[in-house]
Amino acid sequence: MRTFAGLLLAAAAGYAQLTAEQRQLNIESFEKVWTTIRDKHWERNPGGLDWQAIHAEYRPKIEQAASTEQARQVMRDMLARLHQTHFAIFPGNVYEDVGGAVMGGGTPGLETRVLEGQAVVTSIDPGSSAERAGVHPGWVVTRAGDKDLAPMIRKLQAVPELHELTLERAVEAALSGPEGGDLAVTFLDGDGRQRTMNLRLGPPRGAPSRFGNLPVEYVWFESKKIGNIGYVRFNLFLDLARVMGEFGKAVTGCRGCDGFIIDLRGNPGGIGGMAMGMAGFLVEKPDEKLGTMYMRDNSLKFVINPRAGAFDGPLAVLVDGCSASTSEIFAGGLQDLGRARIFGTKTAAAALPSAIEKLPNGDGFQYAIANYISEGGKALEGNGVTPDVTVKLTRAALLAGRDPVIDAAVEWIRKQRTPQ
C-alpha cells in the first residue's frame, strides 16, 4: 500500500509530466469547451445551470490538473453537470479515427457493419470493383491498406460516448481513398480463408447532389417488390426532387400491396423537411406531427403534409445504429403515431447532428446543438428509436444470403393480411 508521502510524490511526478505549454493547451481546451456550450447549446441556461458559475467552479480545477488525463476528467465532470448525452471528451488518438479520419473520394463499392467486433460486408454496390472481384456479403474486412481494422474497432468500442454511426464512418474512411487508385483489402471469406485483393476505388454509388454549402453527396434510391410487398431503400434524405419523386412513385404504385417496407438502415439523415413530405404518402389524417425540434431561438414542428390516396396498409420501417437524424425523426414519429412498426436495432440517438471538433490539446470534443422531442414526448437525441421488434443482422445470415431484419418485417406484414 502506498504511503501518503508516496502519493504526494506520485502526484508531483504526474504534474511534472506536463510542460508549461501543455498545461496552457489544456486550459485553452477547457475554455473552448465551456464557451461552445455557452454559445451553441439550445438552452440559454444549458441544463438549467448558471453556466458562468460553472466556469468559476471548474477553472481552478483545470489549472490544477496534474496530467492531461486529469484535465480530460475535469472537462468530462463539467459536461456531466448537463445530464445530457452527446457531450463528450475523448483522447487525441481516438479523435484521429473518428473526427480526423479523412474520407477519400473513391470507394471499392462495399458496405460494412461492425458485427461482434468485426467489420462485416453487408452489401456490394452493383458494377463496383468489389462485385467484379467476387466479394460476398458476410466476408470480414480485416485490413485496408496499411490499417488493421480490429485494433481500431476495439479502441473505438471502448469509448462509450461514441455511437455506432461514428464507428462505421471510421471503418468507411479506412476503406476509401483517391478515386482511380487501388486499395489492398484483406478479407476473411465464408470458409475462414484470408484473401487479399487489390480493389480499384471508383466513384461512390448514386448521383451527385448538393445542398446549400454542404459538400457534394452521392445519393441512391432503390425500390422493388418482395412478393406483393413494396420495398424501398435510400442512403440519404437529400436530392429532394428525385428521391421524393421516386418515393412517391413507389408508394402510389403499391396501393394494392399487402404492405410496405422502408429500409432506413445506414441512412444518417439529411433534409429534415423530407420526413414530413414522405410521411404524407403514408398518413391520411391532417395536422399530425412527427415531433418538434428545439433550438436556442426558435422551434420547428414537423407537421405531416397528407396526400390524397395515401397508402394505409401495414407499414414496416427498418433501422439500425447507423440510422440517424432525419431517419430517426421519420421512424420515431411514425412509431409514436401508431402508423409504423419498427424492426431492427436501436438507432444512433443522434436526431440532431452532433459536431466533433479538435481541441487545442489534440483531444476530441463532441457536442449537440439542438434537441428533438417526438410527438409521443420522447427525446430522441441521446436516446434513439427503440424498435418494436429487435432483430440483429448476423454474419451467418449474410453468408447464407439472408437478411433477418427484412425477413421479420415480411413475416409480420403477411400475418396482418392473413385472417387470424
CATH number for the domain spanning 250: value is 3.90.226.10
List, in sequence order, every beta strand (DSSP E) within 91-165.
110-115, 118-124, 140-144, 147-148
Q: Is the pLDDT of residue 12 over 60?
A: no
pLDDT (tens digit per residue) in 158-198:
887 777 888 898 999 999 999 999 999 999 999 999 999 99
Are 402 and 254 found together in one domain?
yes
Average pLDDT, the chain: 89
Structural domain span for residue 9 = 4-83
pLDDT at 165: 82
Are 187 and 124 found together in one domain?
yes
Are 268 and 181 found together in one domain?
no
The answer to whether the CB of 182 falls within 8 A of the CB of 107 is no
Of 299, 307, 261, 317, nearest to 283 by C-alpha is 307
Place of cell 421519420: 330
Please check whether residue 89 lies inside any domain of the structure.
no
Are 62 and 149 found together in one domain?
no
Q: Using the 3D structure, point to which of 149, 165, 200 is the last residue of a domain.
A: 200
pLDDT (tens digit per residue) in 261-271:
999 999 999 88
Answer with the residue of higher pLDDT: 334 or 356: 334
Percentage of the chain with pLDDT > 70? 92
Please check whether residue 105 lies inside any domain of the structure.
no
Are 225 and 118 found together in one domain?
no
Please check whether residue 382 lies inside any domain of the structure.
yes
How many structural domains is the chain composed of? 3
Of 290, 306, 347, 358, nearest to 324 by C-alpha is 347
Q: Is the pLDDT of residue 126 over 90?
A: yes
pTM across the whole model: 0.84
Are 196 and 269 found together in one domain?
no
Of 291, 226, 290, nearest to 261 by C-alpha is 226
